[in-house]
Each structure stands twice: as C-alpha cells, then as structure tokens.
Structure 1
Amino acid sequence: MTHELTRRSMLKIGSAAAVLPWVPGLAGASRAAAAQAPGTAAAATTMLRPFGLEDVDLGAGVFAQKRSLMLEFLRGFDERRFLIAFRANAGLALDPSVVPMPAGGWEGLDGEANGNLRGAFTGHFMSAVAQAYASTGETAFGRKLQTLIDGLYEVRGALGNDPVLRTTAGKLSGTAVDIARGTYNYVALPAGTFSGLTSFTFAAWVRPTAAANWARILDIGNGTSVYAFLAQRDGNGRPRFAITRNGGGGEQVLQGTTALPVNAWSHVAVTLTGTTGRLYVNGVQVAQNTTMTLNPAALGALANNWLGRSQYNDPLYAGAYQDVNVWSTALSAAQVAELTAGRAATTSAGAGDALSLPMDESGGLVIADVSGKGRNGSLVRTWGKPSHPGFLAAYPETQFITLETMTTGNYNVVWAPYYTAHKILKGLLDGYTATGDPKALDLATGLCDWMYSRLSKLTPAVRQRMWGIFSSGEFGGVVEAILETYGHSGKPEHLQLAKYFDLDSLINASAENRDILNGLHANQHIPIFTGALLMYDKTGEERYLQAARNFWDMVVPTRMFGIGGTSSAEFWQARNQIASILKDTDAETCCAYNMLKLSRALFAHEQDPAYMDYYERALFNQVLGSKQDAVDPNFPLATYFIGLQPGAVRDFTPKNGTTCCEGTGMESATKYQDSVFFAAEDGSALYVNLFVASTVYWAAQHVTVTQETSFPFEQGTTLKVAGSGAFDLRVRIPSWARGAAVRVNGAAVGTPVPGAYLTLSRSWKDGDTVEVDLPFALRAERTPDDPTVQNLMYGPVHLVARDARTTFLPFSLYATAALDGDLAGALQPVTGKPLHFTSNGVELAPFHEGTTDPFHAYVRRTEPRVVLGSVDSGVANPARADRTTLLDDVWSGAPFAHKPAFLQRLASVTDSWVGAGLLAAADRDRVLEAGRRAAFTTAYAEAADLQGIADTARAAGTLSQGAHTNLRNRLEGALEALEAGNDAKALRYLQQYLDHAARRVEDADLLALLSLGADALTARLRG
C-alpha cells in the first residue's frame, strides 16, 4: 500500500480545510464570513463606465481570430451596394457603370415583404465598420463610413424632390419610359379612362427588371373588391389578367403559361368582348376564357387607373414601358400579331382610340396621350414627399403613417419601421463618433426631429397601441440612440421623444415584478429595458431601473438555454420551458446580442457579478459560436436561429444575408472587447470582468493593464501593470470557479469566492503581476421541465456532442465522478484538439467553434445504477415521478470538501428517500457501504481532512483544547502507520479516535461528521 502525502503536507491540508464552510453548525457563519471576507467586492456605490473600443486592444486568441474573419468580410463588401435602395427611394440616378449590384436579402430592392425592412442592415453595417475603425484604426474602414455618410446626406436632400422621369432605349425606335426598382414611381391615368368599355383591348411593350410576383403592368379599380389587372407574374410566376366585382374570390381569370423574361422586351395584350377574353404574349395567344361576364363598364366609375401600381400592397412594377394603347374594341388575333412588328399607329388597328401613350418622353412628369382624348398620364410617387425634412429611409414614409392606424400586425404592409429608423440612427451616431463628420450628426439630429414631428402629434393611447403590435410596432434600441442624440443636441424635444417610446404595459408590469413575457416577441422587447436604464439615468424614475432589473431575472435563467440565448421561434414561452421547446428555431442571435447589452448596462449600475457570469456564458458560447469560422465575400456568415434539437446544424447564411441577426453578428464580432474591463466613474477601481487576451489603456490613472491568456484554452489569466497608481483592481471570480487562486507578484492574496469580485487594493507599480487560477470543472445543468435533458458545461464552455443522430444521446457521468462532485472523470481529452473530449462514445467540442457539423447541445442523462467513486452498490438508481433520481439529489449538494461531508450528504439523502418510500432500507445500507468504501482521494488525504475539520471546530470554539489535542495525537498515529504501510496499526488508532470522539466531543453535528470520516476510512482500509 502506498501513500502520496507526508505528515508535513498533512498539516498544510488541515490548515487549508479550516477555511472551508462545510462544517455543520458553522456553514451559515462561514458564508457570511465569505461574503465579508477581505478582498471581496462590497456593494457598489458608484457607476461604472466601459472603455471605448479604441482604449482596449484584443490580443491573440479565439476572439481575435473570429474578429479577423469578420473584418475581412467588412473590408471586401462594397458599401455602395447599401446606398442603392436609399437612392432609388429618393429618385436619384443609378449609373450602372458605376453602381454595383444591390445588396440582397432583406436589404434588396425587392426583398422579403416588398423590402419593408430595407435600411436596417445598412445601419448595422455602419455600426460594425465604425467599431472596426475604432478598434483597428484602419483607414479603409474610415473611407467606407465616409462613403455611407456622404451618400445618405445626398439622399436626405433629394427625398423632398419630385419624381424624375427616366428613359431607356425602346424596343421600337426611340426611347421608352423606365421606372427604376425601388423608386415607388408609377403612372397615374385620368379617371374615366376605362369607363363604359364593354369591349376593349389593352396592349403594351414591357421590359421588367425584377421578377416580382404580382407586380402590375396595368391595374384599374376602387380598392381590393372592384378591379381589373394585368400582372407580369402571378403567384406561380405566370402572366395573369383578372377582373372582379367581388375581390379575389370572384376573379375571372386569364392565365399565361410562361413567365415574362426579366430584362427583355415582351409584347403583352388582353382582349375582351362578350364572354370571351384572350391573353397574348408576343402576338401568340397564351390563354382564353369563354365564360367571362365582366368588363370595365361593369365595374362602374373607377378612381384608380394605374400603370405599375397595385390596388393591393403588391410590389410596384419595375421596368420599361413603350407604346401603351387601349382600344374600345377587341382586336383580332391578326391585329394583335401586327402590334409586335411596329408601333400601333402604323398597323391596321391604328393607335388606341381610348388611350395611346407612345412613352417617348425625355423629361418632365407628363406622359402624353395621342389618342385625341387628352388622357395624359402623370409620373407620380406613391407617397408624395416627407412630412419633415429630417426623414431618411430606404422606403416610403407610408410605413410610419400606416402604423399609426394599424390595430394588428402585418409585416407585408408595415414591418418595424421604427426598428429600421433605430438602426440607421445608431449607424449614423457610430459613424459620427468614429469620423467626427458633422454631416453624420446632422442626419441623426434631423432623424430625431422628424420622429418627434410625427409622434408628438399622436395621443398616448395611439402610441401605446402602436408599440404593442407585433412586429410592425417593433422599435429596437431606438430609445438608446435617441438619448445618445440628445446627449449631443441637448434638445428637450429629443428627451421627450425618448419617453414617447415607453411601452407602459410591459415596463409597469416588470417594475411590479409581474411576468407577462409568455407569448411576447423576444427581441422586440429586450431592448426596451436597456433604454429604460438610460431613461432612469436621465429622469431618476425608479420604475425604469426596477423594471430592467426584474425583467432580467425573468429571462435568466428561467428562459435561458445553456448557450446563453433565449426565445423559441422568436417568441418567449412560459417560464422554465427548455426541453419542451428544443427545435431548429431557438435562440435568435439578436436576442443574445441585446441581452448582453442589457447585462452590461445593469452591471454598470449595480455591479452584481451575476450579470457578468451571464455575459461570459452568452459571449463565450452563443455569440462566438454564431460566427462561422470562414469568410465569404457576400455574407457575414452569422446565424439567425440556432437549432438546439438533437442533431442540429447551424445555418450561417440565413435568408440570403442581410437579416437583423447577421447585422448584430457583424456588430458583436467587432466589439468583443467592449466589456472586458470597466472602470469606476470616480477612477478608484478597475474591474476585470472577462478573461480575454487584451490590453486596456486607462487614461484616468495613466496605467496600462495587459491581460495575457489563451482562456478558455487556459484555465486562468495573468494581468501585468505598466505605470503606477493607487487603485482597486477588482477581479471577477466566476461562479463556476471552485478552487480559484490569485497571486500578486507570486504571493497568494485574498480569499477568492466564486460568484464575487476579489478586490486587490494597493499602490500599483510598474511591472506588478497578478496571476489568476480558474480551475475548470465539468458540470451538467438540468433543464427545468425535464431533469433528464441536460447540457454540459466545462468551466465557461458549453460542450456539444458532435453526432448526426436526431434523438437525444444517452449520457452517464456519475459512475466516474469523484466523490467531491467533480465529473471530469467522464472526459477523455482528444490529443491535439484543445477543449475536445470523448465521452459516452462521442466527441465533445466547444460550441464556439463555428462549424456546420451536426451537434447535440443537450443530452439525455441515464444513470441506471448507484455507483459511487466507481464502487457499484448493486442498487438500481431510483427516480421520482418528476424523473429526478437519488443520485441527482446526492450530487446536487456538491462540491464536497472532504469524505465526511460527502458521506453526510449521502446519509441524509438516502434517509429521505427511505422515509418517502422510494428506497428500501436494505438498499440504503448497501449504498452507504459503497460510499464508505469509495475513495475520495487517498486514504492519507482523507485522514488529513479529518484533522482539518477538528482544527476548524477548535478555532470556532466548538471543540475543547484537550479533546482537540487527544484527537490530533490519535490521528497522527494513524497517519504514521499509513506512511509505514501498516494498515492494521492505522485501524487501531482510528478505533481509539472514534472512542475518544464519542466521549469528548460535545457538539452532536461535529461528532457525526468526525465519526463518518473515521468510519469511512476504517471501512476503506478493511476493504
């Protein structure tokens, strides 16, 4: 038998054990002492301030690597692509020889929901580039910002102008009128143009420039009940004529067979007479309907007669028109065929007798009618001119106007216009901070002036209704951006404007700690509380602070996934629902981005370490893992949703780019360092919040602090001070970091308490070094709604199982667990792959690796037998109705400082299960015997632990000096015997120890603890 320690080291262990709070009767006092222990941070009395990105440099490591990938994308993406939609909306010319292709996805000219969110990603891009510029100083980023600022300034000036008629080469001789994508222009024809037509022919040359379904070549009607239209493509991509007096359900239809080509001329014609309608494309009949009972005359007087616009909210037609004609008769097939060879005026049909528009204008806003009827068309814009000169957007102001009368959301009509305004405003503010260009601030101030001009005219009830609508009323972090503008402008109207965005139903409920989150759209509401904190700073209204604080507690941890994210299909469910909602639309990345912003803001106010514990979890896992470890010239490669169901695969190119989450992904990747360090507002303290290789330049103290670490691949960090000054250095000890240690210039200092800040107060000198040890341990976190579904954490790192199966993987961890509660025995490191392990037959990897490998963020815990320290008790692991097991109860008390503490927990839990009728008494005895025989560490170390418990009790006054001395003498005899390998002699000393303890120890809890330890050691030696 061999023993690893000496008597001298035993005395050190005994002394160290004296500070651990596991002795019965002393636990409460010890926790209180720990809370007030020298070096732990006291309650905050001052606000903290983050450092600017320019004041913190990232060092080598995983964050710098991820950032470099995003910087490469930002450098290569042509920022002018974002200006195209803005310029089109303002009627500015787009030179195809200079202007690149438009940005796609949501930012596209004909993106999702008719492009109703255009401009938002532009703001994200500006913020990301501004952050990159601040962090790196690269002039390329400054130039990109300048291009966008200058471009947007030109756009705002042009938004108040009349539409501009533009021309292109026609199919026939001469020019054609060209309506550019995104201009919101169309041609309005006079009322009565189609009145009284019982038979008619419509014919035109068209060249669409966008493959937009339902875009109208012609549309006449009185809204969405009575109308007739010719669409370039229907929902199936085919040309379609329809006429109705009873809305969509009563349409009489002519449907073509083949889509009209984009960027190519086609001749289209519709004839209708009697009950027969025909549709022609390029002179060939493609559809006929002989049961049509309606004609324009049957529709009555029509107010709207449009070329290019729909009675519905369909995309406007984009493209060219030439030789548009309407006849009051149905032309023959031969006559229609003639129209494809030249202008109508040169054919046997002649120019249209009801309307004839050659479309050969070179300017102005009038489209001349040569039919003799004087029915000139007018080039108009759907929304007129802005209500205030500060308006700036890539789509019409009508989205904002329509929102004011909406009662239910419809993103095809209105899609979060104030959210878009926020992103543009914030991008401008970040651009101003980075470049100092006064145009950027002028644009931002004007945008706030415009918002005030609209919202100040509305009643509080209207505003409350607007902000409560999903998702049309979503406004993101607009309050933060408005208050930032207010900080520059000082205008009282801007502070009042920020108040207009109070969603009182949510803010008041949260201030009262009433959880009403179930069913709410998550990312629509998280930024409200960051704004509320800033409103608290400006107004002193306590409800804002209380609401933000309570809201955070409603999300963390009750609605939080293991990676730190929240939301399911963008919405919140009821509290404590995690296992039941694991699917491919979990953890929207924007939610994590905004929860980080809120957490850092709360921490700046209150310095509760829990905020930074959460920040670390979400940053090191979801946010890092939301960026793919690759570069693409067209995409930032960032996730929208993160599937957390078994076998999920991350999608790094959602919706073809330019989504909100790809935008926040760009921003996150260019500001990783923004919360590593904070400083007290009065300059008295520097907070080290996160363990990231970095250097902070603290001007207030003329000090530089460099953090050297490869964390999380290294379990700790080193801080080096350059310069000198008297201040507190406050180092966060994460809640997961049991056994943390801190040394200043090589000497141990303080008492690190998990979940607290260790304060080092001294006059710092150039060259001082602080070393922080943060041991990682494996822990399995149960989901609240199914304790068998668990995620695995290793220190701050969320480990995922790489496996393509789509059912939960069975995982056992207890059988190999050490008796102190350390589960690391279940992990086998993979050589050459840091933070990769094998366990239960699969490979585990850190979530932050941005791969497309299928993975399991959660596993199914399966612990069929009670095995303790590899000693099998032979007893099946019983479970309650809620699926928690006996072993779950035992290990929920971990970590255990020593064998007696573990045995005490084991006895207490098994007694409880026997009392509840869930465990037989005989099985309890078998479990207890297995626990006594299981190794905690070495037999020698377990004996040393007993001495430490006695030392602690003596120091606390619960053990007399005489009893303490006698117990120590007998234990030293046992230790000497163990050193000599004489187990029989050690057993005799242990029996004497037990006998003496029974006679001399008066404290029943202490006696039980000492007896458990001595009994267990005896059972183990008898083995």
Structure 2
Amino acid sequence: MAPPLSRRFLLQSAMLAAAVPGVSFSAGGGRAVAATVPTPSTWSVRPFELKDVTLGQGLYADKRQLMLDHGRGYDVNRLLQVFRANAGLSTGGAVAPGGWEGLDGEANGNLRGHYTGHFLSMLSQAYASTGQQVYADKISTMVGALTDVRAALRTDPRMLTVTGRWGGAHENVRGSYQYVDLPATVLNGSAAITLSIWVSPTHDANWQRVFDFGNNSTRYMYLVTRNAAGVPRFAITTSGSGGEQGLNGTAALPLNQWSHLAVTISGTTGTLYVNGTAVATNTSMSLNPSVLGTLTNNWLGRSNYSGDPVYAGAFDEFNVYSRALTAAEITSFQTNEAKKSAAGLGNLASYYFSTTTTGTLGDSSGRGLNATLRRTWDGPSHQGFLAAYPETQFIALESMTSGDYTRVWAPYYTAHKILKGLLDAYLATDDSRALDLASGMCDWMYSRLSKLPDATLQRMWGIFSSGEFGGIVETIVDLYTITGKADHLALAKLFDLDSLIDACAANTDILDGLHANQHIPIFTGYVRLYDATGEARYLTAAKNFWGMVIPQRMYGIGGTSTAEFWKARGVISGTISDTNAETCCAYNLLKLSRSLFFHEQDPKYMDYYERALLNQVLGSKQDKADAEKPLVTYFIGLKPGHVRDYTPKQGTTCCEGTGMESATKYQDSVYFTEADGSALYVNLYSAATLNWSAKGVTVAQSTDYPREQGSTITVGGGSAAFALRLRVPSWAGADFRVTVNGTAVSGTPAAGSYFTVPSRTWRAGDVVRVTIPFLLRVEKALDDPSLQTLFYGPVNLVGRNSSTSYLSCGLYRNAGLSGDLLPSLTPVNGKPLHYTLGGTEFAPFHEGSEDPTHAYVRRSEPQIVLGGTDSGVANPARTDGTTLLDEIWAGAPFADKGALVARVQSTVAAWVSAGLLGQADGQKVVTTAQNATYAA
C-alpha cells in the first residue's frame, strides 16, 4: 500500500474540493457543469479562451487552414479502429492509420490510442476556434464510440457476427485478443479424426492458429493458416516443436476470402485438404489425438506458444468427426453446408456459429460441448478503464526495472493523450459523456496507483520510455478542478518524481542524458500542482528547470534535444545532427513557458514563446495540403543540408499529434489579461481579434507580421478602462515606438520588457500603432562562437543549399551604423524575407519547404572590411575566437559615423597595445573606417 498522505495535503484537498462544484454525469450529451477549467487564484494574469480570439489573414491563419482541412476531411472511424478492435466490436471495415497507431507499426503498436487523443484535442480546438459544426460532429462520433468501447470492455466478449460461407460467421477482429475455448473432452480420445473448418483470414501474420489443442508448448496439435513459408500447416507432437509430425500446404490462403481447411488422420496416414483438394499427405505418422490424452487448452484462434499472434479473421462451420472422412465427403463441403452434406455434422463437436448476443457458442453435435468466447488477457476490464489495448501494459510496468518499449511503451503517456482529448472535447462541446469517460479513467488510475508502494511509483516514473507519462498531471489537475473529486487531486500527486523535483528545486542540473520530452511536460503538471496545493517546491522546480533548458540546451529556432535526449549544459555545436529539436519538445516548452508567465510576468517567457512558435513550430508544418497525413516533422535536423521529413515513421507519431494541436491554437497566447482586468497584455504581434466580453470591447490587430515590422491595434465595440502592456522583444532596437491615435506615448521602451500604455478609457475607433524595426543579427552557439544562426527580427533565416558542409559567411562587410548586418545581404525581389549571401538564398525557417537547409553557418571574416572597403589587413582574433571586427561592432548602435570611427580608433589602439595588431596595419584600419560610407 502507498504511505498515507499527509494531514496537510488531505486538508488542502478537502478545502479545494469544497470550493469546486461536484459533477453528475448523464448518459448522453449535455452540460453537467460549466465547461471551463476554473482559473487558479495563483495566476496573476489569465488567458482568454480560444473562442474569444479570432485569427485574421496572415502567416498563422494560412498554416492553420492546412490543418483545419485535414481535420475536416479525415475519417475518424480509422482512429477508432484500434479501440473498437480491442473491445471486440465491429470496426466497420475501417483501416487503422498505420505507423504508431496500429498493430503493424513500431513495437507492434504498443502506443496505439495516443494519436486518437491528439486528434480529439485538435478537433476540439478547431471547433472552439471556428465554431464549424463539422468538428463538433466528429467529436460526438468519437466520444460516442469510446463510450461504447468502455462498456464493451466491462463485459465478457460477445460473438461478432459477419457474413459467413453459409449464413452467419464469427469474426476475430485483429487486436481483440479473442479466441474460442472448447471443452476438454472435445477430441474424446479418438485415434481417427477429421477436423473441418471454413476460414477467412484478414491478416498475413505467420503462425496464426486456426485451432490448437494442447497443454503447453510440448504436447499439442495445431492448424495454422500460414507457417514460416506462408502456407497452411498441420502438426502434432508430444515432444515440442522438434518432434512435430506435420502436413504443409502448397500455396498461401487468400486474405478476406473464404477457404475450407480439413485434416484427416487414420492409422499412419494424415492428409491436409484445402478447398476440397488434398494438398499434403503423410503416410508415416505415429501420432494421433488419442496419444495426446485429455488436453486443457482446446482453442480456436489461440496458440499454446505465447508469442504467436492470435488469429485474425472469421470462422464458419467447425466440425470434428471421430473418423477420417473420405475425399468425396470433404469435397462435398464446397457446395453444401455440413448438415446438408454427405458427411453431416461432426459427431464429436459441431459449431456453425449461429448468431448470438452472448459469448457462448452452441455445439450441434449432440454432445452439449458448448464453447466460450474469451480474451487472452482475461476480463472484463476494471471500472473506468479505457484504452486501445488491454490493461496488461499497465500491469507489466509495475514490475519492470528497466525500459523495454517492445513490451511496455509508455501506457500512462497514452492514457494522458486520451484523457486530454476527452477533457478538451468536453470543454469544447459540453458533452457530459466525454467528462464521464475522463473522470472514469482517473478513477481507474487512482484505484490502481494508490495501492502501490511509493518506492514502486518512483521506480516506474524514472524508467525511460516505459514509464513516461507526458503531461498527465496537468490534465488530471484540470479535471479535478471540474469534478472536485479529492481522489483526482491525490492521483495527480502519485506522479511525483521526487528525485527530479528535489534536484530542480535545489537548482541542481541533472538533465544531461535524460530524455527531453519525457520530462518537459512533467513540469507543466507540477506547476498546476502548485496551483492546487500551494506547495512551493513544484513551482520553484519548474522555474529552475526552464532555465536549465533555455538557453542552455536551446537551438536558435527554440527547439531542444538530440535524438530525443539532452546532452551536457551549454553544448550546442557539439550536438548538431540530423535528429535535433524533436517537435514535441517545442510544443511542451511553449506550454511550460506560458504556464510560468501566468505566475511571474518575466518577459523572457514570452520572448521564448515567440521564438519557438514563429520558427520551429511553424516550420515543422509543411506548406502543403494532405488528406492522409498532418505533415509535421518529428526531428528538425540542424546539420548542414538537412531536408525536413514531414511524414516521419509512417505517420501518427507523437510529434504529428502535438503538431496537429499546435496548428489549431496559434491564438492562445496573443492576449492575456491582468487577473483583475486592469490591463491587457499583447504578447504576440499577430493578426488576431480579441472579443473581450467582460469589458464589452474588441481589440483587433491588423498586421502582416513578421513580413510587417509592427502592428496596428484598433479598439472596437463600447468603451472600457484598462492599461495596455505591449511586449518589447529582447531583439528590438531603440526605435521601438508606440503611438495612440497618432500621438507618441511617452517613455523609453527597453528591449526584453513590456511597455505600458497607461490606463485610460478606450473608445471604439482608438488606434494604437506599434513600430518594431527589424535588424539582422546573429546568435552564437554557446560552445563555439564561430557557429552562428541568423535572425532578422524574430525570424530565423536559413540558407537553402545542398552542401553538407557548413557554409562560410561574412556579414560585417556592409554593416550599418545601427549594427544591422542586413546591408551585407541582397533582397530577393518579390519574396519577402528572402535574401542572398555568397550565392546562397536565405529564407525564413517558418516556411515548410523540402529544400536542404543550413540553420547554422560558420562565421568567417578573414579581412577587415568596413563600409564595403577592404583595408587589406587580416582580421586578428583573440584566443577565445573574438576578432577585431567583433569587438568593433559590439559597440553598435553608433549615433553617427564619427562614433563608429571613434570605436575603431579605441579598439585598434587596445589591440596594438596588446600586441595583437601591428601599428601600421592598425593605421590602415582607422583610415579605412574614416574614408568608408555606412548605411544607417
């Protein structure tokens, strides 16, 4: 049992539960309580709902439309296929999406169900953002199906009737883990025998048993649709696989088509028939069913070898006879059902699968040997359980000491995606069925995890991959604020990974070697636990953790991780590869940054938000429509010449799931409000209109940012008093300007801050103009200053070049007095934000192209060139790599040419004095500076 929760925690839980209204659930749609997550009192600023902010035309809307079209057109029954199959329900012929969302993908589909949760969240956000009914209809279909699935998992399996060879037949849906259990006396000790059955296999996996009668993997007889060679095989043995006496077919059985199989044994002769024709005969058989004795495992569809797949397909007319039928009798089955054939029904057993609503299959032989439909994992599932695979992964995790994703692949991570999708569905559509499903999942998790010792929980959550649980804590706390169930808050705390929390709370960096996306979303959950419990260590740990990643392990685009893992603090150039910046990491860092900003309005959080959203997140979505795939990257390689892969791992990965979500909530952090409504934060410059219903006004931005260097904000509706806080990006220069109705607002905006337009009564038609001039600048890799990435304002510019070596770039040649490096580049006509340098085109990272790109370049300034004039002097460098030109331009911006010349003179003098530059060469540099012409 888990150790008792502290009295303090229980009191907190009780107080919070008392403050939250209880929830009752109805069987159908309809609101149980207000479909919102109550805003925590700990948030000093608060977001608006997606429905309150409308995207206007522009970069974000264009990207979003591609995903909206994908969500509108995709058949959600394909996503539901794995859930319905697991519950033994009809899949309606739907084909699972593939990749990680099916049985044939990586690790045999051990993550299936996760993508369905992402898709539900995407649809929910799409509906909240657009109000288009098509998304609500798809949500309702999915929630209804999942409700049916949970109910089916709570019962014993039932016959799934399909059209058979002769009327009805039973189907074993692939992924249902179902089989037919026959009584022990079915073979009756017969020495001579005939086994006859119609099969329609739906999958081509080898070693699927049509039947297997045995005790274990030593003593048995079986018939498979495909052996290792892909053809039917019958075998009988009393000494394991090495002692098998067998009969092999000559051709593969067709899929999704009825075939008749029969085996006869009489004396020493065994014969295998396929569709009435003898295809194999063995006249030297010494084994027959009588030597096997009474067997315990008499199965249709299941093997006595645990690693063999369960039969996928349909059965019709299984008959067992205590004699070897003649060839003519077996051939007669081709044109007659058994009861009308020359052979008649089997005298040992006869199942012709007449339709039933139960799991009991009647025996028509007269012996009363009714069979029972069962699941290999037993059942029914426990109350509240909902997944696309059995509870077995959750159970196995509890005894694991190291990760093995081929056995257990992050079941609580998958549970999180489903839980989050259901909660989002409820919040978007008020369908209480979704809330009931989500609440039930948490009830089930609590009933399981609360019984485990704390040491077991700590071990589980520390296991790479298998123990990954994603952002489940955040979602459970959000659900708790709606349900008010104390068990739900207690459940959230059961995911505490104390070694991680304690280290980060102490600001001890232990991230080297950890799996990045396993840990980032954990902290968003811990921030919510702080909100719910007041325990400061959660928030402190999250803040410190953020600082260990940004900028210490951050690439210029805002991404992090190499091949999903973190390396040592401060190592950037040493980790550049084809597997950088897993897209999920950016998604979750955005969520964490946003969450931390609610508690502390440090502009660094929203600076990062803009960086990652505008560059990595937008750039991870291909600028192309596709009905089948969302076209989102998994990794974004930063190695020279990397080409982005928008269909990774056959689709349906974690990153494609978060990519779908990102693309339908671009507006979620454009505006925040002070908790008391006294101020409006404008965090992102984006064409987006806020309907601030509490104030009775609208606030609309008109901008083509980042193609436009600023934004126009117009107030509409009525009148309201509030201050306006405008984010001044950390990269912004001294020319950041704000006017209200054409009049400049006094004050000096500071880069990396919020500039406040003091509170006033705003009226319809008031216009605020924000001007944010861009400069071209570089950011240097922390561990190699010569490796740099280019930014024009917020936009990361990448070279499009097929070379697989770093491009060598010089940028000071025509630098302006402001320090702007842009004059060294040449604009491309008709292509905003596109430039050429050294014969290579540089374009915004956010463009989702398939061009080979260079995110980082090798900075090379071999000669001292000022204002386009070459001094003829080599550019010297200090031992740390800093060059003379670096030191000169570090003084920018310069008020005028004189200030620049003065900087050159003082820098040259210092370098000559240090013996780093000769006197004569120093004079050449100064003279060049004096004679050159500079751009502003």
Fold shared per TM-score above 0.5: yes
Shift of 1:339: 7.9
Q: 2:724 aligns with which of 729, 738, 751?
A: 729
Residue 590 (structure 2) pairs with residue 596 (structure 1): yes
Seen in structure 2, the aligned counterparts of structure 1 residues 648 and 309 have a Cα distance that, compared at 3 Å, is farther
1: CA distance, partners of 2:913 / 2:327? 94
State TM-score, norm by structure 1. Answer: 0.78
Contact 1:189 1:376 in 2 (8 A): yes
Q: Give the letter for the 2:721 counterpart.
A: A
Question: What does 1:870-881 correspond to in 2, within 5 Å?
Answer: 870-878=868-876
Seen in structure 2, the aligned counterparts of structure 1 residues 175 and 581 have a Cα distance that, compared at 3 Å, is same
Seen in structure 2, the aligned counterparts of structure 1 residues 825 and 327 have a Cα distance that, compared at 3 Å, is farther
2: CA distance, partners of 1:289 / 1:912? 98
2: CA distance, partners of 1:681 / 1:66? 31
1: CA distance, partners of 2:212 / 2:710? 69
Contact 1:114 1:412 in 2 (8 A): yes
Shift of 1:470: 2.6
Question: What does 1:463-482 correspond to in 2, within 5 Å?
Answer: 463-482=457-476
Seen in structure 2, the aligned counterparts of structure 1 residues 683 and 276 have a Cα distance that, compared at 3 Å, is farther
The equivalent residue for 1:693 is 687
Could you report, residue by residue, the CA deviation over 1:265-305 in whole angstroms, capped at 9, with x for unpaired residues?
33456899999999876577889999999999999997644
1: CA distance, partners of 2:807 / 2:244? 54
Seen in structure 2, the aligned counterparts of structure 1 residues 882 and 305 have a Cα distance that, compared at 3 Å, is farther
Residue 626 (structure 2) pairs with residue 637 (structure 1): no
The equivalent residue for 1:746 is 742
The equivalent residue for 1:453 is 447
Residue 803 (structure 2) pairs with residue 805 (structure 1): yes
Seen in structure 2, the aligned counterparts of structure 1 residues 407 and 272 have a Cα distance that, compared at 3 Å, is farther
Q: 1:833 aligns with which of 826, 831, 834?
A: 831
The equivalent residue for 2:55 is 58
Contact 1:687 1:729 in 2 (8 A): yes
Runs (5+) with no aligned partner, structure 1 = 1-43, 939-1023
Q: Give the letter for the 2:407 counterpart.
A: V
Q: Give the letter for the 1:850 counterpart.
A: G
Moved more, 265-274 or 810-819: 265-274
Shift of 1:329: 10
Question: What does 1:604-619 correspond to in 2, within 5 Å?
Answer: 604-619=598-613
1: CA distance, partners of 2:428 / 2:828? 44
Shift of 1:827: 1.8
Q: 1:824 aligns with which of 808, 822, 837?
A: 822
The equivalent residue for 1:360 is 353
1: CA distance, partners of 2:242 / 2:778? 57
Contact 1:819 1:868 in 2 (8 A): no
Could you report, residue by residue, the CA deviation over 1:771-813 in whole angstroms, capped at 9, with x for unpaired residues?
1111111122222344433222111111122233333333222
Shift of 1:649: 2.4
Shift of 1:559: 1.9
Contact 1:195 1:302 in 2 (8 A): no
Q: 1:584 aligns with which of 572, 578, 584?
A: 578
Seen in structure 2, the aligned counterparts of structure 1 residues 187 and 916 have a Cα distance that, compared at 3 Å, is farther
Contact 2:503 2:509 in 1 (8 A): yes
Could you report, residue by residue, the CA deviation over 1:730-773 in whole angstroms, capped at 9, with x for unpaired residues?
11110111122222222332211111111111313313322111
Shift of 1:881: 7.1
Shift of 1:605: 1.0
Residue 142 (structure 2) pairs with residue 148 (structure 1): yes
Moved more, 155-164 or 191-200: 191-200
2: CA distance, partners of 1:881 / 1:243? 78
Seen in structure 2, the aligned counterparts of structure 1 residues 920 and 149 have a Cα distance that, compared at 3 Å, is same
The equivalent residue for 1:423 is 417
How many residue pairs end up in the alignment? 890
Seen in structure 2, the aligned counterparts of structure 1 residues 574 and 844 have a Cα distance that, compared at 3 Å, is same
The equivalent residue for 1:720 is 714
Q: 2:434 aligns with which of 434, 440, 443?
A: 440
Q: 1:389 aligns with which of 383, 398, 422?
A: 383
Seen in structure 2, the aligned counterparts of structure 1 residues 528 and 317 have a Cα distance that, compared at 3 Å, is same
2: CA distance, partners of 1:580 / 1:296? 66
Could you report, residue by residue, the CA deviation over 1:675-731 in whole angstroms, capped at 9, with x for unpaired residues?
001111111211110000111122343332211111000011112223433322111
Residue 400 (structure 2) pairs with residue 403 (structure 1): no
2: CA distance, partners of 1:246 / 1:742? 87
Contact 2:679 2:759 in 1 (8 A): no
Question: What does 1:468-507 correspond to in 2, within 5 Å?
Answer: 468-507=462-501
Q: Give the letter for the 1:205 counterpart.
A: W
Contact 2:814 2:935 in 1 (8 A): no
Question: What does 1:914-993 correspond to in 2, within 5 Å?
Answer: 923-924=921-922, 926-936=924-934
Contact 1:114 1:314 in 2 (8 A): no
Could you report, residue by residue, the CA deviation over 1:613-660 in whole angstroms, capped at 9, with x for unpaired residues?
110011111111222222222222222222333222223233444332
The equivalent residue for 1:309 is 302
Residue 88 (structure 2) pairs with residue 91 (structure 1): yes
Moved more, 894-903 or 571-580: 894-903
2: CA distance, partners of 1:595 / 1:892? 31
Contact 2:729 2:753 in 1 (8 A): yes
Contact 2:815 2:934 in 1 (8 A): no
1: CA distance, partners of 2:221 / 2:927? 87
Shift of 1:230: 5.6
Question: What is the DSSP-based 3-state SS (H/G/I as helix, E as strand, rest coil) of the residue aligned with 1:144?
Answer: helix
Residue 860 (structure 2) pairs with residue 851 (structure 1): no
1: CA distance, partners of 2:912 / 2:241? 70
The equivalent residue for 2:65 is 68
Shift of 1:487: 0.7
Shift of 1:459: 1.2
Seen in structure 2, the aligned counterparts of structure 1 residues 661 and 256 have a Cα distance that, compared at 3 Å, is farther
Q: Give the letter for the 2:377 counterpart.
A: W
2: CA distance, partners of 1:219 / 1:914? 90
Q: 2:203 aligns with which of 204, 210, 230?
A: 210
Q: 2:315 aligns with which of 308, 315, 321?
A: 321
Q: Give the letter for the 1:210 counterpart.
A: H
Residue 161 (structure 2) pairs with residue 167 (structure 1): yes
2: CA distance, partners of 1:127 / 1:802? 35
Contact 2:163 2:169 in 1 (8 A): yes
Q: 1:574 aligns with which of 537, 545, 568?
A: 568
Shift of 1:534: 0.7
% identical aligned pairs? 60
Contact 2:42 2:531 in 1 (8 A): no
Q: Higher helix proportion, which one?
A: 1
2: CA distance, partners of 1:276 / 1:518? 66
2: CA distance, partners of 1:229 / 1:920? 91
Moved more, 187-196 or 173-182: 187-196
Shift of 1:417: 1.9
Question: What is the DSSP-based 3-state SS (H/G/I as helix, E as strand, rest coil) of the residue aligned with 2:646?
Answer: coil
2: CA distance, partners of 1:514 / 1:250? 61
Residue 174 (structure 2) pairs with residue 177 (structure 1): no
